[in-house]
A and B are shown apart, each in its own frame.
Chain A
Amino acid sequence: MPETEDLEVHLATCLDCAGELARYRGLLHTMGSLRYHLEETPPGFTAGVLALVAAAEQGWGERIVRVANDPKIHVAAASFGGLVLGAAAIGLIWWRTARRREPFAA
């Protein structure tokens, strides 16, 4: 990378800055390892979560959200929508054809 070339040249000759780089690398390495170092949950955490989920399960809002997120409902809604659109299109064609056949009926 040409934009770091001058920095690399400097790092090769400056002990102070090379040490700074080593410290940063150590810092980044330690931070990366924090991801796999998990903390213990506070006492009662799991019970609290389960109680929240159970309470949410009983609410109407939760039921609606669950139904709205159900892929089977999505397929059924799409099929029903297609059916309605198809019926509307057939009805429209039929109505226009009927009008053309009887232009002076009135």
Chain B
Amino acid sequence: MELTGRQVYTLAHRLVGDRHEAEDVAQEAYLRVYRSLRSFRGDSRFETWLHRVVANVAINHMRTRARFGELMDEPETVVRIPEAPSTDDVAEREEMAGVLAQLPAAQRVAVVLKDVYGFSVSEIAERLDTTEGAVKLRLHRGRRNLKDLIHGVRESEHAEMADRIPEYAEGTGA
């Protein structure tokens, strides 16, 4: 329980972006895992199944806590970029986790599930009850905001090309 507890809590915290709410979500998710453990048939890895359960509980939690609008919202840019450009050490993991929490809920959920936990776009769309196109848009905006928060805003002379880079970077791997 030590390891799975940390896994459950970490994902819950990254999705809801608040420690206290994450604790509630993690406990509820654990209860759900306990209840449906018998129905786990081993079709997928236990960890994957665990992540799905936590994602469902976190999304439901955000919906019921009057944050449904926030979750379904697709703001163009609501992230306040710091005036001083960030330095390289901001890209450290812990700081990245802090920066993720600053994203709007709709973008954060898409980015965390896709880029951190490897959910497919269709799986995220199904959980959020939206279209794959909407998820891709949130991912695009979320990644761009994240990059701006970490590296600072850079005006590219080739805006059209620069706009295609996030998807290209994902497709070609690191």
Residues of A at the B interface (CB closer than 8 Å) are: 1, 4, 7, 10-11, 14, 16-17, 20-21, 23-35, 37-42, 45-46, 48-49, 52-53, 56, 62, 65-66, 69-71
Residue of B100, B115, B165, B170 ringed by the most chain A CB atoms within 10 A: B165
Chain B positions 103 through 121: 1 when the CB is less than 8 Å from some CB of chain A, otherwise 0 = 0000000010001111000
Contacting residues, chain A, for B9 (C-beta < 8 A)? 39, 41-42, 45
Tell me, in angstroms, the Cα distance from A101 to B38 when the chains sit together: 53
Assess A69 versus B39: contact at CB under 8 Å? Given A30-B93, A45-B27.
yes
Residue contacts A-B, CB under 8 angstroms, 14 given: A16-B158, A23-B147, A27-B143, A28-B115, A28-B174, A30-B92, A32-B116, A34-B116, A37-B94, A38-B6, A52-B27, A52-B30, A65-B35, A71-B38
Q: A30-B93, A53-B30 are in contact. Are A21 and B169 (CB under 8 A)?
A: yes
Which of A49, A65, A71 gathers most chain B CB within 10 Å? A49
* Residues on the B chain within 8 Å of A4, using CB: 164, 168, 171
B47 shortest CB reach to chain A, Å:
10
Which chain B positions have C-beta within 8 A of A48?
A: 23, 27
Bits for B91-103, please: 1 = Cβ < 8 Å to A, else 0: 1111011001000
- Taking A35-B117, A37-B93, A41-B5 as contacts, is the C-beta distance between A21 and B10 under 8 angstroms? no
The interface on chain B, measured as residues whose beta carbon lies within 8 A of the other chain's beta carbons, has a size of 53
When chains A and B are docked, how far (Å) is the Cα of A28 from the Cα of B111? 10
Known: A20-B165, A45-B27, A53-B31. A30 touches B147 (CB 8 A): no
Within 8 A of A (CB), among B128-174: 143, 146-147, 150-151, 154, 156-158, 161-162, 164-166, 168-171, 173-174
Neighbour of B96 across the interface among A34, A39, A56, A66, CB < 8 A: A34
Say how far B148's CB is from chain A's closest CB, in angstroms: 11
With beta carbons under 8 angstroms apart, the residue of A24, A40, A49, A53 that contacts B166 is: A24
Known A-B contacts: A16-B158, A34-B97. Give 18 more (CB < 8 A): A11-B161, A16-B157, A17-B165, A25-B169, A29-B174, A32-B115, A34-B93, A34-B116, A37-B10, A37-B97, A40-B6, A41-B26, A46-B1, A53-B30, A69-B35, A69-B36, A69-B39, A70-B38
Residue in B27, B35, B97, B146 whose CB lies within 8 Å of A27:
B146
Q: How far is the CB of A92 from chain B (nearest CB, A)?
A: 36
Least CB distance from A23 to B in Å reads 6
**B1-19 near A? 1/0 per residue, CB < 8 Å:** 1110111011001100001
